[in-house]
A and B are shown apart, each in its own frame.
Chain A
Amino acid sequence: MLRLVIAGVTTLALLAPMLWLPAAPRAQQGVEIRIDVEGRGQRKLNVAVPPFTVTTGPESAALGTALAETTGADLTFSGLFTVVTPSVTLPANDPPSLRKTLEDFAGAGAHAAVHGLVAVRGDRLEGEMRVYDLTSGPDPRQIATKTFTVASTQPRRLAHKIADEVVLQFSGELGVADTKLAYVTGRPGAKEIVVSDYDGFAPASVTRNRSINLSPVWSPDARSLAYTSYKNGYPDLFRIFPFERRPEQTLAAFSGINSSPGWRPDGAQLALTLSKDGNPEIYVLAIATGSLRRLTRHAGIDTEPTWSPTGRQLAFISNRAGSPHVFVMDAEGANVRQLTFGGYQTQPRWSPKGDVIAYTARHGNHDVWAVGSDGSNARRLTAGPGDNQGAAWSPDGRHLVFQSNRLGGWQIFSMLADGSEQKPVTRGSGEHTSPSWSPRLP
């Protein structure tokens, strides 16, 4: 049962208009650019995340500490918070003591506190989130509460859900911690698809065919991945359901390449690259019927289709102007226009907010760039070291993951959408490439 109670907001809301920040800058198309608002130099909120209180169940102290650490790491990752981690938990059901502890947190610099109360009941983990405003004077007030239930085998999902809700409370949009990454792990000639939590935890292989598996892309319902595999000898396109006992589907196995899957946001269609008619061209596959619609007709290479969030346009790569550049066309393949010029650009990825297209530009090394979907304001998001490429958006468009060899072998890194806060997501041995960030899990 969902319950969302916000107490004590009214007073703050009355004060807020006087302190209203300038309106966010707007793109030429009139789409609000959140990322510019929340990017580099943004002042962060200090939030205290004390150990969660585990009311029933074994290993209570360790679990409570681990959950708080995970929620705290999620809030840090969001780019909106500086997390302070008190060693003492909150005496949730002892009001005078609770008030005293919250005052201590405020005295230590915290503006807000997040507390989780957890009960292990059989195969379920029930959690309650409580958020306190510590800036409201001598009497800290609880401003939000919400309950969650997850499988007891999935404690990190509870921590992620609490973090996502906290992000919602303070930013107006749900966070992205309760999501997954898919990426490619392996070496040349032997690459498998792996799925992990968004923060790199719990990697698990979803293919084990000892072939070359490439380009995993999450479907919009976060239940399946389209990917290219050589498991039948040739580069064919498949769809796998990593969380279900459900047979894999063959999406395309024509002669030539079957590659570069790009899901339309409604999940009903998949853009892809086929060379069955002579050279690499972009087609749209209707998932339900298997029917194909050809979008490009050009002697050069056309590949890497990525849909706009409205599903009315696609960006793609073509070398029709000599080297590969980013182009945009409408969903019927008409009204083609070139978005990037000169040099070598590949890997376009349309932001889920619609206003920006991330891509990879090669200037000796590769770096991740972004350009307005109207072609304006091309800017560089990474500046080495090494190669940085293959970016994928978070579902809220505030983050990107990408592959970088700045530390030696390929690893997955993340950053905010303005290029700030670059940090590794995967670590350790092995080469990790081609990340795709899932939509929020159902």
Chain B
Amino acid sequence: MATRASRVFIFLILSLTVALAGCAKRPATTQAAAPAPTGSGQTMAPPAPVAPPSATTTPPPPPPSAARPPSTGPAPAAQTPGARPSPKEFVAMPGVLKDVFFAFDKYDIRPEDAKTLDANAGWFKSNPNHLILIEGHCDERGTNEYNLALGERRAKSAMNYLVSQGVQASRITIISYGEERPQCSEKNDSCWEKNRRAHFLVKPR
């Protein structure tokens, strides 16, 4: 049936080329414009996404339980190994704990940033009653998911350096924000540089 329909289509197209070649532009016709989305106030749009699909007579919907019976369960894979401290409980220490910065698409610690990390490590070691949160950030260039991974690597690089300097790994939690929390919103090099960073926060144990 599909083949026949396709042939009808082809026939009709060829009708255009063969029989109606000179009739392409008729003044009596106008091309429809795509409607502009207008939000929730319009009459044609349902207020909420869709009604249950059972109201259609098109090809029958797959039975909800056929493909994946276990998916009706509330949480198949909520494996959280241990409680993670809430990032909201951590505070920055401006002037004391400084950010380190990274080149575009890189997560290696540069020599000048190693000095910053040395200073941060010194504070962490002399304040052993504080837990540490390292945020990894990216600039807005690059793409979302990759930047999430890149920010993770930046935080991890900073963490590994701190651990190599004698900070206990068990005190450190890392979180990547990818490009989602820029500290500078202009679109230029100096701003992007500021956003490619690892940021340090602490909270008392």
Q: Tell me the A residues contacting B by CB distance below 8 Å.
A: 1-2, 6, 9, 12-13, 15-17, 19-21, 43, 45-46, 48-49, 62, 66, 69-70, 72-73, 76-77, 80, 82-86, 107-112, 124, 133, 135, 143, 147-151, 153-157, 161, 168-173, 178, 180, 188-189, 191, 195-197, 199-204, 206, 212, 214-215, 221, 223-224, 228, 230, 233-235, 242-244, 246-247, 249-257, 259-260, 266-268, 273, 275-276, 278-280, 285, 287-290, 292, 301-304, 317, 319, 323-324, 344, 346-347, 360, 362, 366, 389-390, 423, 425-428, 433-434, 441-442
Contact = CB atoms under 8 A, between A and B. Distances in A.
B47 interface: yes
B12 A135 contact: yes
B88 interface: yes
B13 interface: yes
Interface residue tally on B, bucketed by range: 35 or more
B188 interface: no
Of the candidates B141, B148, B175, the one having the most CB atoms from chain A within 10 angstroms of its own CB is B148
B32 A203 contact: no
A46 B35 CA distance: 19
Given A154-B50, A289-B70, A70 B152 contact: no
27 contacts: A43-B17, A45-B9, A45-B16, A72-B32, A73-B34, A76-B34, A84-B29, A85-B29, A85-B32, A109-B24, A109-B26, A111-B16, A151-B51, A168-B5, A169-B9, A201-B42, A251-B78, A252-B79, A260-B145, A289-B76, A290-B77, A344-B142, A346-B146, A425-B37, A428-B39, A434-B144, A442-B61
A243 B81 contact: no
A410 to B, nearest CB: 10
A16 B5 contact: no
Contacts of A188: 179-182, 185
A390 B19 contact: no
B96 interface: no
Given A201-B44, A234-B87, A442-B61, A347 B69 contact: no
A1 B58 CA distance: 8
